Structure 1
Amino acid sequence: MSRCTRQVLLVNRGAHSSMAPNNTFVFGGNEVVHQLTKGKNSFLYVSITLVNGSRLYELYDRFSISNEGDKYRLFLAGDATGTLGDKMLNSGSSSYVLSGMYFTTYDRDNDRGGKNCAVDWRGGWWFNACYSAFLNGPWSTERWCCPWHPTVRDGTSIKETSLMIKRH
């Protein structure tokens, strides 16, 4: 489900369907994204398509992730523009800023929350304590709360999500 088009790499894509467990597709994992972004200036484009057909997006000016030894730490900087609202870099609360956060999974609790946010919210992500933006939640009505708060309040309104990177 991954593709390269005009030097844009689809890093993560989810669609509300029955195509795969949790309907999440990841291109090669965090190590591949690290190799592609290390020492390079890259954009991050976040897109959420709603069930009503409208598409919301946020473009981050600088994006990279570190290596496994640094727990795939997320780096975002520069401007964030779009229709989603910036919830990864300037979320309005230092407890939810995602830049500088390590990647947390079920078996690696690297977040600053009191519990393992990946277990509580059912998916890996760059959690702080825990989030105001989270695109790897379960595709179900009652379990995916506030994927991009407050713009998208629950997973029932989402048809598809995408994370894409492009070098400057």
Structure 2
Amino acid sequence: MDRKMWPVIGLLLLCSLTDQTNPHKMKQRALTAQGQDCTAIKASTPNAQSGIYIIQPRGAHEPFKVYCEMLADGGWTVFQRRTGRIVSFDRKWKEYKHGFGYLEMDHWLGLANVWALTRSSDQTSVLRVDLWDFEGGSASAEYSHFRIGDDQAAYKLSVGTYKGTAGDAIRGEYSGIDQNGFGFSTVDRDNDGCSPCIFGDIAANDCASSEGGGWWFSGCGSASLHGAWHPAGDNIGWGSGLHWDTWKGPAPYSLRATRMMVKSM
């Protein structure tokens, strides 16, 4: 294949991928829910395999598609996956709200959908973050009582007890950068609390601009998985990257792959 065609093909592929999680596109097709979330689907069908399913959480107005990881400990609803640079996470508020990417590959499910998954007052949810480095290592972090607020609350992050092997990067590797309780920020919607935040002789007014992508920034924090993806050999030292600083460091280390999932209890 002529290499001159690669950029064109890549652009067409990205446009196709972006439509996969766009709720406005999916409204054109009638969807029938298979369960309220991946946990319920796995509970009702123990031999269910990982893949794309249609769910409708309690209180959600319409069903929507998700990727379910069906594991031994139950069904997990994936709301973030990164494995490379084919899907850019350098997006603004509207796209982070509604979602983008391709469910079977790299994607962000959308803040509105994550809120729908965690909003119910009669159930609790567990957040699981899986991380992979370039040296063959992996680690995970789990948080009990995970939920996010609604749009008016800027989808404020709330997590409970941590357990795992990656370290509690959400609360931070040192005091004063706890992301728990902060709203989501993008380059066009700043909720990070920096006015400015001081790092040595550097002042940051906007964490999303320096860290990249959207996240629950706080000063600017030890966790940020939506910056630019960097390949092996060029993944250390970047301010923007896929960072979970309680696992890899001390120099900024951009991870090879990440996955964020939620399971209802």
Match of 2:224 among 134, 142, 164: 134
Q: Matched residue of 1:5: which SS?
A: strand
Q: Matched residue of 1:166: which SS?
A: strand
Q: Matched residue of 1:44: which SS?
A: strand
1:1-168 to 2 correspondences below 5 Å: 3-6=67-70, 7-16=75-84, 18-22=85-89, 25-27=107-109, 29-38=110-119, 39=121, 40-77=123-160, 79-89=161-171, 91-93=173-175, 95-113=176-194, 114=196, 115-140=205-230, 141=235, 142-144=238-240, 147-153=243-249, 154-156=252-254, 158-168=255-265
Amino acid at match of 2:263: K
For structure 1, list consecutive stretches of 5 or more residues without a partner in the other structure: none
* Deviations 1:3-22 (CA, angstroms, capped at 9, x unpaired): 11333111111112x42224
Amino acid at match of 2:87: A
Q: Which whole-Å CA distance do the structure 2 matches of 1:160 and 1:96 have between them?
A: 24
Q: 1:21 to 1:65 in 2, by over 3 A?
A: same
Q: Which whole-Å CA distance do the structure 1 matches of 2:246 and 2:112 have between them?
A: 31
Shift of 1:70: 0.7
Amino acid at match of 2:127: L
CA RMSD, 1 decimal: 2.1
Structure with the bigger percentage of helix: 2
* Deviations 1:107-144 (CA, angstroms, capped at 9, x unpaired): 00111121111011111100111111111111123343
Asked if the contact 2:133–2:257 (Cα under 8 Å) also holds between the matched residues in 1, the reply is: yes
TM-score using structure 2 length: 0.57
TM-score using structure 1 length: 0.87
Shift of 1:92: 3.5
Q: Matched residue of 1:127: which SS?
A: coil
Q: Matched residue of 1:34: which SS?
A: helix
Paired residues, number: 163
Identity %: 28
Structure 1 segments, 4+ long, off by >6 Å, are none
Asked if the contact 1:132–1:146 (Cα under 8 Å) also holds between the matched residues in 2, the reply is: no
* Deviations 1:61-116 (CA, angstroms, capped at 9, x unpaired): 11000110111000111x211110112136441x2111100000010011112111
Amino acid at match of 1:19: I
Asked if the contact 1:139–1:155 (Cα under 8 Å) also holds between the matched residues in 2, the reply is: no
State which structure, 1 or 2, has the greater radius of gyration over its C-alpha atoms. Answer: 2
Q: Which whole-Å CA distance do the structure 2 matches of 1:125 and 1:21 have between them?
A: 14
Q: 1:164 to 1:19 in 2, by over 3 A?
A: same
Shift of 1:166: 0.3
For structure 2, list consecutive stretches of 5 or more residues without a partner in the other structure: 1-51, 53-65, 90-100, 197-204
